[in-house]
Structure 1
Amino acid sequence: MSARIDSPPPLSPPGDVSVRPARPADRDAVLALMPRLEAFGLPENVPAGSVAAGESRVMAEAFEQLPEGGALHVAVDALDRVLGVLFLETKHDYFTGLRHGHVGVLAVVQEAEGRGVGRVLLAAADAWGRAEGFDRLTLSVFEGNGRARRVYEQAGYRADLVRYRKDLT
């Protein structure tokens, strides 16, 4: 069976994935990834579309002006197609006030899911955090996002604070 002339070539093997700083030309591809943050299903109190909309605003702002101490990277294949995005922030620990790195957004295109792109992006986060002199990185993940939680745990992350919620209305 022959491929259609206008179909894109298949994704490159995982070894061909590299991470680079995001460029203005990557903006649309990055924004198109934001619905992936809801692909696993959201908790009942989170309206559909709200996570994607909120993170789209954050990403659009990051393309205009990165927050101080932040970084925005993309994972690309050998043809420079965006496979994933990594938004990094500098935060201050609530208890100690010390600076640390925070993975604000990590998303991977559906076609590359399970191919190691998330792990490559997390390794880039580690390198960024070490270069910034941080002693730790944090991230947040919805409890029901089991796949992401497993990836994070395999990368050495562990839960250290659990947030509870009580609806009042």
Structure 2
Amino acid sequence: MSAFVIRSASGAEDREFIRTLDDRLIDVIVAPAHSRAEVAAFQARFTATAFAASEEAGATFVACNADGRRLGYVNVRPGVDDIADAPCAYIALLAVVEEQERTGVARALVQHAESWAMQKGYERIALDVFASNAGARAFYESAGYGAETLRLVRQI
């Protein structure tokens, strides 16, 4: 594993880097009730919220190697635990460049998001993952996350 640092995202170059990872996220989404164009439009809209949330109460963090090359990012923001009817932290987005998969970058980004959440006083952290994204599901489960709900969709 190469050495890297995690820092707060800022500026146009970080925004562009984050946007460039949309295709990686889109490629693992199988949404039978939606077209690929709808999935791509959703992802673009959702990614755009990463900085809007950061400017309010959330945060976006970028992992960079020693040369400053961006390796991945995580966006965490306030959410709601519907079961406890209480605030929780919410990992909205997480992506790493393909060659950084299974190197510890994603795990470090999640741990950074969890630390941010604890500093903010949250007792829980939640996230959503597409059912078709088996790799991400296995990664999150290995990090201690467990499924509580399953949303089913049908086009009518």
TM-score range for the pair, normalised by the shorter chain length: 0.7 to 0.9
Q: 1:143 is matched with which residue? A: 131
Question: TM-score with structure 1 length normalisation?
Answer: 0.82
Q: 1:127 aligns with which of 101, 105, 115?
A: 115
- Work out whether residues 19 and 75 of structure 1, in 8 Å CA contact, stay in contact via their aligned partners in 2: yes
Q: How far apart are the structure 2 equivalents of 1:57 and 1:68?
A: 17
Q: How far apart are the structure 2 equivalents of 1:90 and 1:127?
A: 14
Q: 2:9 is matched with which residue? A: 22
Q: How far apart are the structure 2 equivalents of 1:92 and 1:39?
A: 28
Q: How far apart are the structure 1 equivalents of 2:44 and 2:99?
A: 20
- Work out whether residues 87 and 105 of structure 1, in 8 Å CA contact, stay in contact via their aligned partners in 2: yes
Q: 1:38 is matched with which residue? A: 26
Deviations 1:52-77, CA, capped at 9 Å, x for gaps: 43333343344366353211111111
Question: TM-score with structure 2 length normalisation?
Answer: 0.88
Say whether residues 1:63 and 2:30 are aligned partners. Answer: no
Say whether residues 1:54 and 2:54 are aligned partners. Answer: no
Percent identity between the aligned chains?
33
Whichever structure has more strand as a proportion of its residues is: 2
What residue ranges of structure 1 are gaps of 5+ in the alignment? 1-12
Q: How far apart are the structure 2 equivalents of 1:74 and 1:105?
A: 12
What residue ranges of structure 2 are gaps of 5+ in the alignment? none
Q: Number of aligned pairs?
A: 155
Whichever structure has more helix as a proportion of its residues is: 2
1:156 alignment partner, SS class: coil
**Which consecutive segments of 4 or more residues in structure 1 shift more than 4 A?**
none
What pairs with 1:74-85 in structure 2 (closer than 5 Å)? 74-85=62-73
**Cα drift, residue 85 of structure 1:** 1.3
Alignment root-mean-square deviation, CA: 1.9
The AA in structure 2 aligned to 1:119 is R
**Cα drift, residue 128 of structure 1:** 0.9
